[in-house]
Structure 1
Amino acid sequence: MVVPVFANSGRAYMIVMIAHLSDMKLALGVDHYIYGWVFFGIVMLLLFWIGSFWRQDEAPQSTRPAAAPQAAAGARGRPLWLAGTAVLLVASLWPVYAIWLNERPLPEMTALQVEPGGGWQPAAAFTRWTPHWVGADRQLRQSFAQAGNNVLLELNYYVTQRQDAELINSQNFMIRQKDPAWSNIGEKIADVTIGGASRQVRQAKLRGSNGQRLLVWQWNLIDQRPVVNDQIAKLVLATDRVQLKRDDGLSVLIATPYLEGEMDAAAATLARFAADMQEPIGRALDQVNGQ
């Protein structure tokens, strides 16, 4: 029990320090799993090596020559070293694989365009608020209007997860810290109904220094499925990467202005917009990634 506890503590400390010393550029995304596997392989190799000092050799039979026990002990020790070497080699493959993924050329992509549905039409911008999503390979920011309702749509598409270009990133947020123009007055995971189906969104209420209030919904699309939980999203993306599948993802963010006491009307506007734009966004995602 002692070794696993100290080894896991060392692994966590190593990942935190790598992120700190690299100015929050390394060990923030899928690569922190890779570093963990390398550390795990090294610890296992050390355990095998230390355990070899306490191995119990069988007593030699009296009919064998004197040199036979030493030869037998050497033969039994070789599989141990072979196993340890194999573990280390397998663990060392992950950094090489990660480097290859980060250095491979990106596929050709078209511009991210959405044909509005449900009677929504492109409109002039109604807010100066801009969310902070970094490293997107394709981005679309467009305001839409219908029957006097205004909605902002921002899509950020990541064709593959790599350093400084990750769908799930601590640098992706709705408002910068100490933003002089905007305040986040309430953020939570909300249960909503979109197109007759229950799902979750990340909901935020924003207030501007000019008095404007915005209701914001955000979620991610991975494998065309909505995901809100960051840990689940990272797990799905890491699994896709290990299985040599596409690890692309799309952040969907919609916002509409509201008056104090009229949250329900604003939520209904966002729900209707999300339902009307669900298929157009899916088609846009298929086009940009070449499907």
Structure 2
Amino acid sequence: MCLVFLLIVVLFRGDVRAAVGLWLSSSAYSHGLLILPVFAFMLWAKRAELRGFSPRPTLWGGAIILAFGGVWVLSTLSGVAEAAQFAIVGMIQGVLLTQLGWRLYGLLLLPFGYLWLLVPSGEFLVPMLQSFTAHAAARLLELVGIDNFLDGLTIEVASGTYLVAPGCAGLNFVLAALATALAYAELVYRTWGRRLAFVLGMVVLAVAGNALRVFLIIAIAHLIEDVGNIADDHILYGWAFFSVLLLGGMALGVRWRQDHGPGKIPPRERSAPRAAILSATAVAAVLVILAPALVWVMWSAEARAALALPVLSCGVLGKLAADPEWSADVAEVDSLAAIDCGGNGHRIHFVMAALDRPVRRGKLVGVERWVGAGDGWTRIARQVAAEPIGGLQVPVQKDLEANGHRRRVIWSLFWTGDGWHRPGWPVALADLKAELAGHRHAVLVMAATSADSGEAAAAEALHDFLSGQSAAFDTLSGRGR
């Protein structure tokens, strides 16, 4: 079994490396470093219950390996890294079932399920958590008599202004609470009802606790009139506060504990023949290899004709020197063209990035994060709306970002296969369809400008600028068809 797991790590090392990188670089996913040690402890804690049980290999696990292998192939082709990482854990579940059999796998269902937390996931929850935190904190301020004004995710009080940024949404607390609660529930409770109730209670406690944390930071800073120091140390204070909440939740949960006890030791099962175990191992290894082998065949195919990006123009605006905050070298794309334009009180950065190579890390889904990256900038709002550009209703992803007191608006448009597509799954599916058809040309179009003078003025400037880029967009249409 260990050899098959090692084979998975080697074959899917790119996805594994990406997941580990997020564990090390993002506080929201740092709990991933503890999942395997905690998983090992959960297995060790069940050693008495497992006495007498022997592996009974089943080939039904092979169907799970094949199914998740297919998911991995599709996720890799469409560039959805999160789905690919989930697929790898799914293949691990299939290997476990193949080699252990239904009975042992069922007894270890929760520890094995704990492995899903290896995948750094949950970013889609951030907007909802931000909104809840901002509204709950503002309501709590009202209840204690502190006048405030809530503008989206910004809370204004007499002593200062506070932004509930993505890092303040509490995703890190929610995921840490989930990981802790699942392990605690496995060790302390025996029935699934109590386990589920405790896990849900801890997640709710984490969400509510984060809103309470933001409220306390604002309230204390307002009362002592020391906004800077409190705001700067909010992460340290937050983890200390969250740790107290977590310990309090576990102390309360122990009141309903269910001692596992030694229980009745079942008669020792007859072990499966050694040949059956070796055959199951070989089958699992072969099935694991199939998915990356298929992708390797596609990857080694002849290179497709690259898309020639158009020469970008500023239209009625004047051309400016390049903005140093935007990189001209983005490893996740195959080619990139950029230009900076100025006039009418606005400076606009315009960029087109093409992705042509089959089966590569850089895909149209999420690539705007690499192209538009800038040190110190944090997204505080996002919406998707159709804009009339070039006679078409084009889906546009509109991001509002902040860097201190500065603001900027970025519009992102996604072209792949046969036209413009809505960001998210529609883009991923259209990109996958074009990839499988063998005529994939994916292009990201981005335009950005400062919003310091107002978001409405910035949006109007971007719309007018993109509406004048008919020549560049016609090039895409001709190539796409």
Query: Above 0.5 in TM-score?
Result: yes
How far did 1:144 drift?
1.6
Q: Give the letter for the 1:269 counterpart.
A: A
Greater alpha carbon shift after TM alignment, 244-253 vs 93-102: 93-102
Q: Give the letter for the 1:157 counterpart.
A: A
Equivalent in the alignment of 1:155: 352
Q: Give the letter for the 2:394 counterpart.
A: R
User: Any idea what the Cα deviations from partners look like across 1:89-120, whole Å, max 9, x if unmatched?
Assistant: xxx98765532321224346476342426423
Which of 213, 218, 229 does residue 407 from structure 2 map onto? 213
Equivalent in the alignment of 2:377: 182
Structure 1 runs not aligned, ≥5 long? 1-13, 47-91
Is the Cα contact below 8 Å between 2:381 and 2:401 reproduced in 1? yes
How far did 1:201 drift?
1.1
Which of 342, 355, 361 does residue 145 from structure 1 map onto? 342
Q: Give the letter for the 2:397 counterpart.
A: R
In 2, Cα distance between equivalents of 1:174 and 1:138: 11
In 2, Cα distance between equivalents of 1:175 and 1:136: 12
Q: Cα–Cα, structure 1 residues 172 and 251, in superposed 2: closer, same or farther, change >3 Å? A: same
Which of 258, 265, 289 does residue 457 from structure 2 map onto? 265
User: Any idea what the Cα deviations from partners look like across 1:116-173, whole Å, max 9, x if unmatched?
Assistant: 2642342223562559964211011211234443210121101134232322257945
Q: Give the letter for the 2:451 counterpart.
A: Y
1:22 and 2:22 are equivalent in the alignment: no
Q: Cα–Cα, structure 1 residues 241 and 274, in superposed 2: closer, same or farther, change >3 Å? A: same
In 2, Cα distance between equivalents of 1:105 and 1:121: 41
1:234 and 2:428 are equivalent in the alignment: yes
How far did 1:264 drift?
1.6
Equivalent in the alignment of 2:363: 166
Q: Cα–Cα, structure 1 residues 138 and 198, in superposed 2: closer, same or farther, change >3 Å? A: same
Q: Which structure has greater strand proportion? A: 1
Q: Cα–Cα, structure 1 residues 224 and 207, in superposed 2: closer, same or farther, change >3 Å? A: same
Query: Relative contact order (alpha carbons < 8 A, sep ≥ 6): 1 or 2 greater?
Result: 1
Equivalent in the alignment of 1:202: 397
In 2, Cα distance between equivalents of 1:144 and 1:131: 16
User: Any idea what the Cα deviations from partners look like across 1:74-96, whole Å, max 9, x if unmatched?
Assistant: xxxxxxxxxxxxxxxxxx98765
In 1, Cα distance between equivalents of 2:323 and 2:314: 20
Q: Cα–Cα, structure 1 residues 193 and 132, in superposed 2: closer, same or farther, change >3 Å? A: farther
Is the Cα contact below 8 Å between 2:307 and 2:354 reproduced in 1? no
Q: Give the letter for the 2:441 counterpart.
A: D
Q: Cα–Cα, structure 1 residues 268 and 251, in superposed 2: closer, same or farther, change >3 Å? A: same
Greater alpha carbon shift after TM alignment, 118-127 vs 150-159: 118-127
1:254 and 2:450 are equivalent in the alignment: no
Which of 388, 410, 415 does residue 193 from structure 1 map onto? 388
How far did 1:206 drift?
1.6
Is the Cα contact below 8 Å between 1:205 and 1:214 reproduced in 2? yes
Q: Cα–Cα, structure 1 residues 19 and 282, in superposed 2: closer, same or farther, change >3 Å? A: farther
In 1, Cα distance between equivalents of 2:326 and 2:385: 22
Matches within 5 A, 1:1-150: 22-24=16-18, 27=72, 28-30=75-77, 32=84, 97-107=294-304, 109=306, 112-116=309-313, 118-126=315-323, 128-130=325-327, 134-150=331-347
Paired residue total: 222
In 2, Cα distance between equivalents of 1:199 and 1:112: 19
Q: Give the letter for the 1:164 counterpart.
A: R
Which of 445, 459, 471 does residue 279 from structure 1 map onto? 471
Q: Cα–Cα, structure 1 residues 123 and 21, in superposed 2: closer, same or farther, change >3 Å? A: closer
In 1, Cα distance between equivalents of 2:392 and 2:307: 31
User: Any idea what the Cα deviations from partners look like across 1:34-76, whole Å, max 9, x if unmatched?
Assistant: x79xx8xx9xxx9xxxxxxxxxxxxxxxxxxxxxxxxxxxxxx
Q: Which structure has greater helix proportion? A: 2
Q: Give the letter for the 1:257 counterpart.
A: S
Secondary structure of 1:167's counterpart equals coil
Q: Give the letter for the 1:249 counterpart.
A: A
Secondary structure of 1:233's counterpart equals helix
In 2, Cα distance between equivalents of 1:171 and 1:203: 11
Secondary structure of 2:468's counterpart equals helix
Q: Give the letter for the 2:470 counterpart.
A: Q
Q: Percent identity among equivalent residues?
A: 14
In 2, Cα distance between equivalents of 1:154 and 1:116: 10
How far did 1:198 drift?
3.4
Is the Cα contact below 8 Å between 1:195 and 1:271 reproduced in 2? no
Q: Give the letter for the 1:140 counterpart.
A: A
In 2, Cα distance between equivalents of 1:21 and 1:240: 23
Is the Cα contact below 8 Å between 1:131 and 1:175 reproduced in 2? no
In 2, Cα distance between equivalents of 1:239 and 1:147: 41
How far did 1:256 drift?
1.0
